[in-house]
Amino acid sequence: MATRPRIVDVAARAGVSTATVSRALSNPDLVHPETQQRIRSAIAELGYVMDGSARALASGRARTVAAIVPTLDNAIFARAVQSLQTTLSNSGYQLLIAAHEYNLSAEHELVRALLERSIDALILVGADHAPQTWEVIRGSRVPLLITWARSSEHEPSIGFDNHEIGRLAARHLLSLGHQHLAVVSGYCRHNDRARHRVEGFREVLAEHGRRLADANVVEQPFGFEGGRAGLQLLMQLRPRPTAIFCGNDMLALGCLFEAQSMGIRVPEALSLVGCDNLPVSSQIPPGLTTILLPTYELGQRAAEAVLHWLATREVPPSQCLPIEIVVRGTSAPPADIQKEETSRPQHVSA
């Protein structure tokens, strides 16, 4: 059986010392590009693989960043993870990814397990985490970056103003003349993003002298079926809502599918606004009005912030990424206003 290539074999093939090979693997910026190329060629020719624990011991780093997201069964998180991984990989870092499925106890166990792997940094989604999770992270002194939410008191963050997401949706629907509004949200407990979006929606209604009744806010699991179930509940209200803001695009599309099944015309009888701007949202007729979140940019900026933090030991500044509403075919004035406008006499010049 052939023996496994060792670092001394790489050094001999490249014509350098073992210290130079080690330096090229752990701190490539300190090695001349021509020398790096000779070492890479020797590694490829020999099929050398450096032991991860040995490299971590030599460099003081595992060159591994861990990220825990609520779920991977959602394209919006997958897109951010893709850009996060690509950016980290381009700088020689590996991404470990895990999902807790909106379970804070499961998240705590994942955090403990990942910290035991000697990761260099940890990325979490949102600011709602169990007290014991905060405790174990701060005790580890591993750099922590919060994403998808605005800055918390102690940790840097890269995310969105989730209150403003709800406010944007409310302003749009009010500007169309809707009086009877409702919300289909994901579960707000232990989910600051969902909670803040509902709060922002309520705030704008209050500014206009309107109150959003508790019965007009329905919480469902994120996904198409949650949207369907949410619409069924809201259509039992009297008066029926003429416009619904949904916490994400999957909920909104579920509402759209259920409205079609129930014979409710969108947007003539019901307006819908989502949040995410998934690629599919522009493809399903009549096109979903939604809040655009730059999730690919979020993943990229999160990776860049972590890389800068690890290279300089300077805590990165928090960033709040811009959002905007994309108006498509699922939002329009309510039927009574549409009827009033079409019944007005038309003045035609001779």
Tell whether domain 7-59 is in CATH 1.10.260.40: yes
| Neighbouring-strand partners of residue 185 | 219
Structure confidence at residue 331 (pLDDT): 98
Q: What 8-state DSSP symbol labels residue 64?
A: E
pLDDT band at 55, cuts 50/70/90?
low
Residue 58 pLDDT > 60, yes or no? Answer: no
Tell whether domain 162-293+326-338 is in CATH 3.40.50.2300: yes
| Neighbouring-strand partners of residue 159 | 320
Q: What percent of the chain has pLDDT over 90?
A: 77
304, two tokens: 């860049």
Tell me the average pLDDT of the chain: 90
Sign of the CA dihedral 82, 87, 91, 95? negative
Better-predicted residue by pLDDT, 210 or 54: 210
**Domain range annotation of the chain:** 7-59, 64-159+296-321, 162-293+326-338
Residue 217 pLDDT > 60, yes or no? Answer: yes
pTM exceeds 0.85, yes or no = no
Alpha carbon distance 208, 179 (integer Å): 11
> Residue 285, CB half-sphere, CA atoms under 13 Å: how many?
2
Query: Within 10 Å of residue 338's Cβ, how many Cβ atoms?
Result: 16
Structure confidence at residue 152 (pLDDT): 64
Q: Please name the fold of domain 64-159+296-321.
A: Rossmann fold (3.40.50)
Structure confidence at residue 153 (pLDDT): 63
Which stretches does DSSP call E strand in 152-269?
157-159, 181-185, 217-219, 243-246
Per-residue pLDDT of 113-164, as tens digits, reads 999 888 999 999 999 999 999 999 988 889 999 999 986 667 899 999 999 9
CA distances, 225 to each of 71, 228, 230, 272 (Å): 16, 5, 8, 16
Domains 7-59 and 162-293+326-338 share a fold: no
Residue 293 pLDDT > 90, yes or no? Answer: yes
CA distances, 311 to each of 61, 117, 143, 282, 319 (Å): 11, 20, 12, 40, 19
Which of 75, 253, 250, 248 has its CA nearest to residue 165? Answer: 248
Mean pLDDT of 83-112: 95
Q: Which residues contact 6 (CB under 8 A, 6 or more apart)?
A: 48
Residue 53 pLDDT > 50, yes or no? Answer: no
pLDDT band at 29, cuts 50/70/90?
confident
